[in-house]
Structure 1
Amino acid sequence: MTELPPGYPVLAEADVVLRDGSVCRLRPIKPSDAEGVRRFHAGQSDESIYLRFFAPMRNLSDRDIKRFTEVDYHDRMALVATIRDEIIGIGRYDRVSEHSAEVAFNISDHYHGKGVGSVLLEHLAALAHHRDIAAFEAEVLPHNRKMLSVFAEAGYQVRRHIEDGVVSLHFDIEPTAESLSVRFAREHRAEAQSVRAMLHPGSVAVIGASRRERAIGHQVLKHIIGGQFTGQVHAVNPSADSVLGLEAVRTVRDLPDGAELAVIAVPAEEVLSVVTDCAAARVRTLVIISSGFAEVGEEGTRLQHEVLRLARSHGMRVVGPNSFGLINNDPSVSLNATLTPTIPHKGYLGLFSQSGALAIANLDSAARRNLGISVFASAGNRVDVSGNDLMQYWVDDERTHAVGLYLESMGNPRKFSRIARHLATNKPVIVVKASSASYGVPPGHRVRQPKVKPHAFTAMLDQAGVIRCENVHQMFDVAQLLVHQPLPRGRRVAVVGNSSQLAALSADNATARGLEVVHGPTAVRTEASAQEFREAVDAAFDDPEVDSVITCFIPPVGALDQEVVDALRHAASRSDKPCVATLLGMRGVDTGSDNAYFAHEWGEVAEGQPRQAIPLYPMPEEAIRALAAATNYGQWREKDKGETVVREGIDRWAVRALLDRILQEDPEGRALTTGEAQELLAGYGIEVWPRHEVATADEAVAAANEVGYPVVVKSLSPLVRGQAVLEGIRVDLHDEIAVRAAFETMDRRLAPIDANYFVVQRMAGPGVSTVLSTVEDPLFGPVVSFSIAGAPTTMLDDVAYRIPPLTDIDVGELLDEIKSAPLLHGHRGSAPVDRAALEDILGRLSLMSDDFLELSSVELNPVIAHPDGATVLGAEIIIAPARRRTDPGARSMT
């Protein structure tokens, strides 16, 4: 491996999806790129050269090459975009003043229109922002419309003027709501297009298509052919002339027109050479069914990394390895590239599963329920294509109305939260994710180990509007309701049945799940006719106070009366209110055909919207759990999501200078002193009351005289903080005698346990003592939390979490989510605290944690919330060298 030049920023390397769905590699330039730059320049047209250099520089001198390829990575930065190790674009900035730099780009003529310039600008801006550069300048010829559009469409406020026939541009690179919106929109379009190419291939090659019937390659090829794939199908087998009636080729290179999608089913040790062949054949997507990679040990991990690196360097996406395959039920595609011949009929549920083993169970369960799917994908070891990519595609996919994801691990929860929130705004997102201390990470998955507690993950899902389920059965329970019924408009329900006991049980269960029973529970007699049951159900649907209807019918003899089913269908079909039903222990979707819920295959479903079919459940508890989940989601979708938090009085440059100075002195990071913590927080408008460390009673008295009475004397030892038995604080001290007595008493008591180190601080007014904190988590990035100080935090773990960036609604929910929130609202006659003051500090803390990766942890404790404000009495801050976040400040595949 070539030795990297001094100061080379490894964290600046990134793989990025371009506008057409292909992949390119971004990295800082190196002196060893000299020949690559020469080749790039030689391949450019005369016009492109003139537009870049304002002169016909057909040849670059050695001096030019040296200047272009040798940079200091701080004041002078250059990035190259490469595909197949060939440079397709170059972007650079050169600092021209303390906080400004000139930026320039040169994009290969063959890659215009693919978004390379926009990607380079994003990454250069992110790098410059962390090097104290606040603005970019550029000079562009007026007829260089492509480059002018790169700047104009980036979301920055660009100022321009023309002088001497040159357009001079100047713009601040501080991220704004508009620039972030542009970046996320471009990321969405690119990644959605990448998945679309994967799911809508014009041709598929099965590599390892064996003639042995039990071989994996044989089965996949058989299912593709049997599923009547509409594109071309190719068999690749070096030792066979034909497989399943298809002429076989030795390698994918031998296909005259190549293949867009390659399904790889060969032994793990052969995969690398197969990927090399696919790269030569310009394959776009690889689905690696083969196992034997990171899930089996270090050697497999090394091989998996090599496969990924080779694929991405040639612009290919990878599904797997250890994948179960892909399904696209779109009639224009009809692709079943999986290991199972029986798949659910076409429908409106998109499914994603990491587990290959559970993929079979998922598909079988959906088929048995008569629940149709639009798309299915199994990620296996999830080395590249993930649930995030599929969600990007599903945002715009008209054939998908709800999404179900079975997640064994999550490599980029910060990005997941952002994309899921976007998707959930219009389509339900249902997630099955196991809970454990390690987040259930299976062997072979590339995942950073989190530091925060598991319920931070649950908070992230709630923040994104995601419906979380404990298992696959619950996921399908919810899905069959959301796909086939309208969303509940509120929490008011009617309960109708033919058993008073069952109706009462249903009503109790609904109340326990937060639903409000406003109609019933109504129970017709057990022997009631279908007409009587129909009238009771119609009355429930017609009640204007009812938002949803729960029905439960147990046949008196054992056979379900078809007239009862028809009555229920009739009532539900003419209403815009959702209905769930418990009928004879059945589970699935009743579409109006006899025994449809037992069918493994379903005929044509009307195009456009799914039929308003009735979701059936074997027990009322399951029906009501699904209805409650749908109701909660409906209310989340309708609620005000708020505006992104902004605060005045922030000096990011002062904080950046402080962090750089400390890390230059202590490269490994450390805890900040009291003065440093105060200075850092002041940069974000958070005032910390001063406190004085004291070692003697005389020092305590002197400190009290300095800060002014009344004061508190308290121990900083964690052994006594929050302890009632080992009291470590004296409050409301009004004179020197009281201060001296308090110090001497606590010193005698705490010295035996080495907890006698004290501070003196002015006493705050009465209020609620709270804890506001943030941690830079390896997996989640910044995580902000709020709790009530003392036992609620230390013993009961009553802590609320959110992941920045936050909206004003998110901040308010942080205060309301903890169980001890009533203490803030005026508990037992006390005055309510100033919520606005707490929310202001939380908002500033969230902005600071989002801006600076070096903030390993920040704890404001205590923050006393008063009726007329909030006082920060203590701050503990630890900083560490920045490490790349899973969702960095520019588009990147992680």
Structure 2
Amino acid sequence: MRPLTEPESPAPSYPDHWEADIVLRDGGTARLRPITAADADRLVSFFERVSEESKYYRFFAPYPRLSARDVHRFTHHDYVDRVGLAATVGGEFIATVRYDRIDERGRAASGDADSAEVAFLVEDAHQGRGLASSLLEHIAACARERGIRRFAAEVLPANNKMIKVFTDAGYSQRRSFADGSVHLTLDLEPTAASLEVMQAREQRAEARSVGRLLAPASVAVVGVGRRPGGAGRTVVERLREGGFTGTVHAVNNALPEDATELGGAPAHRRIADIPEPVDLAVLAVPADQLPGVVGECGEHGVRGLVVLATEHSAERQRSLVQLARAHGMRLIGPGAFGIINTDPAVRLNASPGPYLPRRGPIGLFTQSAAIGIAVLEELDQCGAGLSDFVSAGDRADVSGNDLLQHWYEDEHTSVALMYLESLGNPRKFTRLARRAALAGRPVVVVRGGRHSGGAPPRGHTVPVGHTPHATVSALLRQAGVVEAETVTDLVDTGLLLARQPLPPGDRVAVVGNAESLGLVAHDACRAHHLEPLPPRGLGPAARPEDFRAAVAEALADAGCDAVLVTAIPTVTEDSTAGPGRAEHVAALSEALRAAVADAGVGKPVLVAHLALDGLATELATHGIPAYPSAERAVRALGQAARHAGWVRTAGDSGRVPEFDDLDAPVATAVLNAALVGRPAPRGPADAAAGAVELPAADTQALLGAYGITVVPTLPAPDEDAARLAARRLGYPVALKTTAPHLRHRPDLGGVRLGLSSEEELVRAYTELAGQLGDPADLLPVVQPMAARGVDTVVRASTDPLTGAVLSFGLAGPASELLGDMAHRLLPVTDRGASELIRSIGAAPMLFGWRGAQPVDTAALEELLTRLGRLLDDHPQIAAVDLEPVVVASRGVHVLGAAVRAAPPPPRSGYGPRRLPTY
């Protein structure tokens, strides 16, 4: 790839939005940034570390050193026609990439030329870490932003690694061979294949980065006191007591010269004094010491950090994360409780927690330390085991998304439990959770702060979207996330999903020895949309073998999908705990185990019991969850049944309909005209800036381009204007006010329908003004009458974090007050539209409720899919409000429409891989 000459240009503006932190293939991190004129010495030093072979591959000839002209050329860019990026660790270059705009003959060009030559150089010690692939993604994004549509590259045939980087990227490409080199041309428009490649690489890299944190061979605890007590000393003791299989080092900068040990671990004054590599450092130092300690860890080559200290300053959090990532480290915290890995080959308890939990299939992530402690204790009391646990505190770096990447490929984790106080990237979270659920690893989430106005807790630096929490819940359900209401619900549901198969349906057999407890279970089933079968009462004197027979019979019943066992002490037992009670508990546990084992069917069995101490622990050894109340057991079963229903249908999400009458160029022209002069936002924080509401004519043109017709509306500021409007539209007409305080409130008398003559119109106009006020305030309009039907509302909005969401409900204050709206993420498929209109509580109104004529739901579904296509094709649309939409027996009629447009931020998921910065 021979260097090009380029003309001089004025000093350009530095594009700081191109800076990014990335995770590499081995789980380490690097910093990407544009190369500047101040990087001359770094570039020379980097070039000297590169082998002669790598230089030959880059320049097609021996190139032992860079000349002064080379250094100037490779460090001076205009960031339009000539761009250079560097990957750095610890401030030093480890890889570079550059593009130069070229014309059709391969000469340096500018202006309208849409091709560029691209070239890479990776330091040999860092080859194989995925640097070139990441650099290609980022330089391609820079090029697209500057109007470049394709890359050209010349590669020597022997440079197989570089050829593979290009061919594996997923872009459309062409290849030829001439003059002893391979000539590659890549079209830079993202394709389904390139997006899939990026997501697969992202998954592997982020999973590996978490895996490095959870399975260290050596741990250093910084800030270990000389006396018992204190977080650092406690962590050292927990590591040793838990049987950590690696080495532990204690660090105390005030350590006496003659001290060699702290808490039973080798002691050092500085982390630099540790005579071996350190994989993980747990920082138990005050917040003001963190920057210095993080820098020392980076210099020593530490691979990951757990920060126990709390740091509420968002700016200082960002500085810590930048410092850690600059040295190739991931960071858990600040304010973390710690991390746990129960793998027998690791046995890591890097937390103040009192013991290493038993091994099991549950992965746990929490932001709150207190919630983490509570869940760990609850799981232990239930006899449940963990695969691993991360308490991330303010999660300034490592987040729940990273853990989902890890658990997706962890064969020892079958269910993920998560307590989240904020969702930094909801769109990515739902994508990862959906993929995990489809792979048989359900994700159970309880969200803190759902009713606190949406503000994250103090110290959390994540961006906050504007999507209401009820909408977020609907989107989580759409992605297959099991959302729990409480922490207790989180544990209960997790136990069932981890230990038992999903129910094939919602029919529940209740088997027990207490009629009253069975009735409670029956009512609870109804409340959670389960179908209780006729009770199978065993009587108060039932023996364990009676339970075994009844459970076996229920499991063998083809009309039964799950079995709930309700148990209380039998009347023949001693009323106080003793040997007899313990023997009965053991016998009952064994009977239930045998019944499940003998049946061998994929149906869940769970137990609700009262006053049978020890039964939950006994059953846990057999994988049967037990609950201290029927309500808790049924709630967990209801969650499992809903998730099972999602799994059964998730593989067939429908198709996005194709329409022959869409006119995308017209829609684009309308939006471009509305947004002239409004700059694109740099990110989610200012995505709403510059939004504009389209005039009525533009709104009608935009919607009409996608086959959505808005019933014409003419203003009627006075009686004469009303008469003229009615003549133009034709009788019968409707007269309505559009004043904000009366709009969409027909119950307040602001609407007059079925006006069939001029006399009726004038009378209605006079009444309207007399009852409600001055026409100048009422803003009356005239519309032609639409067919009678059911009034509905269709809305769509784009949140920079959540993405575009389509919402549907019946029009009117009742639905709005009750929150009876359904929501769907784009794109909207035919099946998605059908489910959307059927998922509101008032859906029977559409299907002939109480003898009314059913309405045209097929036309309504078509409207929803057309609107979904409009938003999916045009991210400039910030919001659409169609109200009311009258669904008649034949067709739909959009009586009101409003559209807001704004320059869109870059689409999440379409850009290069990068770690979030908050």
**Residue number among 663, 669, 677 corresponding to 1:665 in the alignment:** 677
In structure 2, the partner of 1:13 is 19
Tell me what 1:247 maps to: 266
- Counterpart-to-counterpart distance in 2, 1:765 and 1:126: 50
Structure 1 position 351 matched with structure 2 position 364: yes
Amino acid at match of 1:797: G
- In the alignment, what sits opposite 1:90? 97
Using a 3 Å threshold, how does the CA distance of structure 1 residues 785 and 159 change in structure 2: closer, same or farther? Answer: farther
1:546 equivalenced with 2:564 (yes/no): no
Q: Which residue of 2 aligns with 1:427?
A: 441
- Partners of 2:193 and 2:853 in 1: CA distance: 41
| Equivalent of residue 842 in structure 1, options 846, 851, 864 | 864
Alignment correspondent of 1:810: 832
Query: Which residues of 2 match residues 273-422 of structure 1 at below 5 A?
Result: 273-291=292-310, 293-294=311-312, 300-422=313-435
2:38 is equivalent to residue 23 of structure 1 = no
Paired residue for 2:107? none
Q: Does 1:563 align with 2:597?
A: no
1:87-113 deviation line (CA, Å, top 9, x unaligned):
423254748686944362414133333
| 8 A Cα contact 1:465 1:636, kept in partner | yes
Counterpart position of 2:901: 879
Contact 1:589 1:613 in 2 (8 A): no
In structure 2, give the amino acid aligned to 1:553: A
Alignment of 1:588-599 (within 5 A): 590=616, 592=618
Q: CA deviation at 1:527?
A: 1.9
Unaligned runs of 5+ in 1: 295-299, 598-610
Taking the TM superposition and a 5 Å limit, the aligned residue runs for 1:737-886 are 746=768, 750-752=772-774, 754-777=776-799, 779-849=801-871, 854-883=876-905
* Match status 1:218 vs 2:225: no
Please state how far the C-alpha of 1:786 moved relative to its aligned partner. 1.6
The DSSP-based 3-state class of the residue aligned with 1:717 is coil
Asked whether 1:71 is paired with 2:78, we answer: yes
Q: 1:500 touches 1:522 (CA, 8 Å); kept in 2?
A: no
Matched, 1:535 2:549: yes
In structure 2, the partner of 1:514 is 529
Q: Are 2:122 and 2:131, in contact at CA under 8 Å, matched by a contact in 1?
A: no
Of 105, 119, 130 in structure 2, the residue corresponding to residue 115 of structure 1 is 130
Alignment of 1:258 with 2:277, yes or no, is: yes
Moved more, 877-886 or 195-204: 877-886
Q: Give the direction of change, closer, same or farther, for the CA distance of 1:124–1:817 in structure 2 (3 Å limit).
A: farther
Distance 2:872 2:650 in 1: 23
Which amino acid in structure 1 is aligned with residue 478 of structure 2? Answer: Q
Instruction: Describe the shift of the 1:475–1:138 C-alpha distance in structure 2 as closer, same or farther (beyond 3 A).
Output: same
Kept in 2, the 8 Å contact 1:325–1:378? The answer is yes
- Residue aligned with 2:362, SS: strand
1:573 is matched with which residue: 556, 572, 597?
Answer: 597
Alpha-carbon distance change, 30 to 774 in structure 1, aligned in 2, over 3 angstroms: farther
Do 1:79 and 1:92's aligned partners in 2 also have CA atoms closer than 8 Å? Answer: no
How many Å separate the matches in 2 of 1:787 and 1:656? 28
The structure-2 alpha-carbon separation of the partners of 1:303 and 1:835, relative to structure 1 and needing over 3 Å to count, comes to same
Residue pair 2:654, 2:832 contacting (<8 A) in 1 also: no
SS in 2 for 1:209: coil
CA contact (8 A) 2:321 2:397 kept: yes
TM-fit CA distance, 1:683 = 5.8
1:193 aligns with 2:208: yes
CA 1:145 to 1:749, structure 2 compared with 1: closer, same or farther past 3 Å? Answer: farther
Q: C-alpha separation between the residues in 1 aligned to 2:800 and 2:625?
A: 41
Alpha-carbon distance change, 264 to 669 in structure 1, aligned in 2, over 3 angstroms? same
* C-alpha contact 1:449 1:778 (8 A) present in aligned 2: no
Which AA in structure 2 matches 1:268?
A
- SS of equivalent residue, structure 1 residue 262: strand
Change (3 A) 1:463 1:770: same
Are 1:71 and 1:78, in contact at CA under 8 Å, matched by a contact in 2?
no
The counterpart of 1:463, out of the listed 470, 474, 478, is 478
Question: Could you tell me how far 1:552 is from its partner in structure 2?
Answer: 1.2
Supply the distance in 2 between the matched residues of 1:853 and 1:580 (Cα, whole angstroms).
48
Q: 1:645 to 1:68 in 2, by over 3 A?
A: farther
1:583 aligned to 2:609?
A: yes
Cα pair 1:855 1:878 within 8 Å, conserved: yes
8 Å CA contact 2:525, 2:634 repeated in 1: yes
Contact 1:586 1:617 in 2 (8 A): no
* Structure 1 letter corresponding to 2:78: V
Query: 1:196, 1:31 → 2: CA distance?
Result: 38
Distance in 1 of aligned mates of 2:102 and 2:734: 51
Following superposition, the deviation at residue 322 of structure 1 comes to 1.2
Q: Distance in 2 between matches of 1:25 and 1:848?
A: 37
Equivalent position of 2:915 in the other structure: 893
CA spacing shift, 1:342–1:713, aligned 2, 3 Å:
same
1:647 Cα deviation after fit: 4.6
Question: C-alpha separation between the residues in 1 aligned to 2:434 and 2:591?
Answer: 38
Quote the residue 2:218 is aligned against.
203
Per-residue CA deviations over 1:607-661 (Å, capped at 9, x if unaligned) read: xxxx642211111111111111112212211224415646556676765665555
Distance 1:714 1:13, change over 3 A: farther
Q: Work out the CA distance in 2 between the residues paired with 1:34 and 1:644.
A: 54
List alignment gaps of at least 5 residues for structure 2. Answer: 1-9, 104-110, 576-580, 680-689
Is 1:526 matched with 2:548? Answer: no
The change in CA–CA distance for 1:64 and 1:236 in structure 2 (over 3 A counts) is closer
**Greater Cα offset, 252-261 or 37-46:** 37-46
Q: Which amino acid aligns with 1:26?
A: L
Count of aligned pairs = 866
Cα distance change on mapping 1:530 and 1:59 into 2, 3 Å: closer
Q: Which moved more, 1:12-21 or 1:85-94?
A: 85-94
Q: Which amino acid aligns with 1:70?
A: H
Distance 1:352 1:324, change over 3 A: same
Q: 2:641 aligns with which of 631, 638, 649?
A: 631
Deviation readout 1:467-516 (Å, 9 max, x if unpaired): 22222222222222222222211111111111222222222222222222
Q: Distance in 2 between matches of 1:424 and 1:46?
A: 49
Q: What is the deviation of 1:274?
A: 0.5
Residues 568, 364 of structure 1: alpha-carbon distance in 2 compared, 3 angstrom cutoff: same
1:472 is aligned, of 487, 490, 501, to: 487
Q: Deviations over 1:194-240 (max 9, x none)?
A: 11111111111111122211021111011111111112222222233
State the distance in 2 between where 1:829 and 1:311 align.
67
- Deviation, structure 1 residue 178: 3.1
Letter in 2 for 1:665: G
Query: Does structure 2 conserve the Cα–Cα contact (< 8 Å) formed by 1:348 and 1:483?
Result: yes
Q: Which moved more, 1:485-494 or 1:798-807?
A: 798-807
Q: What SS does the aligned partner of 2:350 have?
A: strand
- Cα distance in 2 for partners of 1:792, 1:708 equals 33
Q: How far has the Cα of 1:41 moved from its partner?
A: 5.1
Q: 1:529 to 1:770 in 2, by over 3 A?
A: closer
- Comparing 648-657 with 872-881, greater Cα deviation is found at 648-657
Structure 1 residues 858 and 341: alpha-carbon distance in aligned structure 2, compared to 1, 3 A threshold? same
Letter in 2 for 1:19: R
Equivalences for residues 132-147 of structure 1 within 5 A: 135-141=149-155, 143=157, 144-147=159-162
| Counterparts of 1:255 and 1:566, CA distance in 2 | 53
Query: Are 1:346 and 1:372, in contact at CA under 8 Å, matched by a contact in 2?
Result: yes
User: 1:374·1:400 contact (CA, 8 Å) conserved in 2?
Assistant: yes
Residue deviations 1:36-77 (CA, integer Å, cap 9, x gap) = 55555565555555655667676366588458643355x766
Residue type of the partner of 1:723? R
8 Å CA contact 2:616–2:627 kept in 1: the answer is no
Question: What's 1:81 paired with?
Answer: 87
Matches within 5 A, 1:663-742: 663-666=675-678, 668-681=690-703, 686-704=708-726, 711-732=733-754
What one-letter code is carried by the residue in structure 2 that aligns with 1:215? G
